[in-house]
Amino acid sequence: MNWWRKWIGGGRLSSRTTLKQRKLRAKDSREDLVDYLLESAAIAENEGDADTMRSLSYKFIRLELYERAWELRVRSAALKQPSPVPEWEGDDLSGRSILIRYYAPKHRIGEELRFARFIAPVARASRRCIVLSDPRLVALLGRSFSGIEVHPRGAAADAAALDAVDVAAYYETIALRFARNAEEMRGAFVPLVPDPGLVASIRQRYRSRTRGPLIGISWGSTNQNKVLPPIESWAPLLGWSSATFVSLQYGDIKHDLDVFRQFAEGRLISDPKIDQLVDLDGFAAQIAALDAIVSISNTTIDMAGMLGVPTLHIRDDKGSAIWPASGPTPWYPRMTFIYKQQRPWPDLFAEVRSHLEQRLPNVEL
């Protein structure tokens, strides 16, 4: 019996009124917070509340209680996206075909990137493995995992794929077998493979501008709830005269680039050949061509993390749905968190610069 089943069996399942009262007392205690979340999850399961189950799963992920998070997500997805094909239960896949699909109430390309690592164990074990993905990820996933078929998601493609397989699996279904704790999560990492020719071409173009470190930067997000550093606070990093900075930011950034150019003094590249929102294979190659990445929490973080590029993840003091309150993270082996810790933002970016200066000594200057 799973540990949370024993816990529920101890008679600690309470009403939502009691939970609301307990929440006010549990803010600063991990043990009480876990108790509260376990009760909330059990109630959501009993009531078939798929949205609450998925919402709570993010909190379990942040606490690195992965097994419970995956179970909640699989049940939530099954309620919201029922399938005529049986869900894989971890049994032998020899001679069998399986469909891997991603489910999220809100489209999050970063999360889909993050979960791609779970393709690997199933692809190795099955006779045939079909993956349904965001159309922009088809080329990248197909290159990264040998022996799989990747199809862009869509009603017709989804139906055809379901007809062609013996069993199906959400990414979390696979994670439930292979990434139940932080140690297994670290071991489950499989880097994505960018287009090697495109990586070489991009790096050659950028190297024609500089012999110093090439640092990718990303600073914006469409999520209005995030606390973002003011553009001007990047000045201590951009003032590093040995480095050249490459914009990885999507969207309308003309004004931001004008501000950054004042600090970088001719050492800022904005590549018009790559649209980070549309061309994700090109975006992957661009990131892989760089020496390091500095970014707030957005899609850049997950792309860089999954490519295994050294990444400094800028964290505010607000907290996050999945990232730890203090680093490192078992999700990405080459990611370092730089926390604000109530400091002025410029002090954080001064630390970022110092960190990079110490760790990029072998780059040709």
**235-275 pLDDT per residue, tens:** 999 999 999 999 999 988 999 999 999 999 999 999 999 99
Q: Work out the mean pLDDT of the chain and round it to a whole number.
A: 90
Q: How far is CA 33 from the centre of its chain?
A: 24
**CA–CA dist 256, 132 (Å, integer):** 36
Of the two residues 325 and 130, the one the predictor is more confident about is 130
Residue 66 above 80 pLDDT? Answer: yes
Tell me if the domain spanning 196-359 has CATH number 3.40.50.2000. Answer: yes
pLDDT in tens, 294-339: 999 999 999 999 999 999 999 988 877 788 877 789 999 999 999 9
pLDDT at 363: 54
% of the chain at pLDDT higher than 70: 91
Report yes or no: 299 and 113 within 8 Å, Cβ to Cβ. Answer: yes
Residue 23 above 90 pLDDT? Answer: no
Average pLDDT over residues 268-286: 96
Residue 14 above 70 pLDDT? Answer: no
**CA–CA dist 249, 67 (Å, integer):** 34
3-state helix, strand, coil in the chain (%, to 5): 50, 15, 40
pLDDT at 22: 52
Average pLDDT over residues 275-299: 96
CATH of 97-187, one of 3.30.420, 3.40.50, 1.10.3470, 2.40.50: 3.40.50
Name the pLDDT band for 120 (thresholds 50, 70, 90): very high
% of the chain at pLDDT higher than 90: 76
Name the pLDDT band for 78 (thresholds 50, 70, 90): very high
* 3-state SS, residue 133: strand
Residue 12 above 60 pLDDT? Answer: no
**CA–CA dist 80, 73 (Å, integer):** 10
Of the two residues 126 and 5, the one the predictor is more confident about is 126
pLDDT in tens, 151-203: 999 888 889 999 999 999 999 999 999 999 999 999 999 999 999 999 999 99
Delimiting residues of CATH 3.40.50.2000 domain(s) in the chain: 196-359
* DSSP for 157-199, written as a single string: HHHHHHHT-SEEEEHHHHHHHH-SSHHHHHHT-------HHHH
pLDDT at 360: 87
Residue 17 above 70 pLDDT? Answer: no
Give the pTM: 0.90
